[in-house]
Copies of this chain bind each other. A is one copy, B any other.
Amino acid sequence: MTAIDNAPARAAAFLERLSQAFARNDSLLCVGLDPEVGKLPAHLKGLPPAEAIVAFNREIVDATADLVACYKPNLAFYEALGPEGLAALRRTMVLVPPEILTLGDAKRGDIANTMRLYAQALFDVYGFDAVTASPYLGRDALEPFLSRAERGVFILCRTSNPGASEIVDLEVDGEPLYLAVAERVRRWNDNKNAGLVVGATYPRELAAVRERCPELPVLLPGVGAQQGALEDSVAAGVDAQRSGLLVVVARQVLYASSGRDFATAARAAAQALRDRINRVR
């Protein structure tokens, strides 16, 4: 198997590459490439599932690549189709122009010996520029990711699901666990390639994280179908340069239309979202 390689583009440290990605299209938008066969436009549903997904992703990427900073495939959407789904992920990765970042939303968390192999899969087989990961096992577990200075590692902090508070709001030394995690991620950031995942459904918590970690990039899911307030979250999440925030949208863009015009509709939705975000920053 040939690994996907765009090494020259990766010579720079991750934070610099991220900054270039924000500037290129004047956009903080990160489109989630999370296709579900049952939700695809009718004219694609007749194809074999993996083919339908690649055809869909190709049109979405072609229609939006000049409007985004990053594409974020969520691995689960591909894994649910078995090995053929992962083959579709590989084909999708090739569709993304090399100057646009790719983020593998995998949220892996295991001991270092296992994470070494997840890093191999995500960075070397699929060629992601960045990934998401879990903080639960501590720094040594994340080292195989963090040691790749040219790649980004966005670590779960405060998530966007309704029950998130059950664990991450537990009080540790007088503050919620998610802030204790944020503080540790700061310390793990020797290579300037760590970031945080903070859900848009909790703008107050996002503001607290941003205050604590002014220098860390933040991945912000939940502004779309999860009904976060876009403007509040962007205002709370940007850094001192009014940047440093990847705003994730998936369903609002992917399924803006269920007809043959889905790509045109996706472009319009992405443009509107980029502009709404830019008006706040």
- Asked if A139 is an interface residue, CB under 8 A from chain B, the answer is yes
Are A184 and B166 in contact, CB atoms less than 8 angstroms apart?
yes
Residue of B nearest to A3 (CB): B82
- Asked if A1 is an interface residue, CB under 8 A from chain B, the answer is yes
- Asked if A63 is an interface residue, CB under 8 A from chain B, the answer is no
Of the residues B90, B105, B108, B114, contact of A83 by C-beta under 8 Å: B90
| A74 contact set on B, CB distance < 8 A | 110, 114
Are A80 and B117 in contact, CB atoms less than 8 angstroms apart?
yes
Are A109 and B109 in contact, CB atoms less than 8 angstroms apart?
yes
Would you give the shortest CB distance from A61 to chain B, in whole angstroms?
20
Complex CA distance for A170 and B177, rounded to whole angstroms: 9
Q: C-beta contact mask, A121-153 vs B, less than 8 Å → 1, else 0?
A: 100011000000011111111000000000000
Are A134 and B161 in contact, CB atoms less than 8 angstroms apart?
no
Of the residues B79, B110, B120, B177, contact of A177 by C-beta under 8 Å: B177
- Chain B CB within 10 Å — which of A141, A168, A173 has the most? A141
- Chain B CB within 10 Å — which of A82, A135, A163 has the most? A82
- Asked if A213 is an interface residue, CB under 8 A from chain B, the answer is no
Complex CA distance for A81 and B126, rounded to whole angstroms: 10
Are B161 and A170 in contact, CB atoms less than 8 angstroms apart?
no
- Asked if A86 is an interface residue, CB under 8 A from chain B, the answer is yes
Complex CA distance for A77 and B120, rounded to whole angstroms: 10
Interface of A toward B, CB cutoff 8 Å: 1, 74, 76-77, 79-84, 86-87, 90, 105, 107-112, 114-115, 117-118, 120-121, 125-126, 134-141, 156, 159-168, 170-173, 177, 180-181, 184, 226
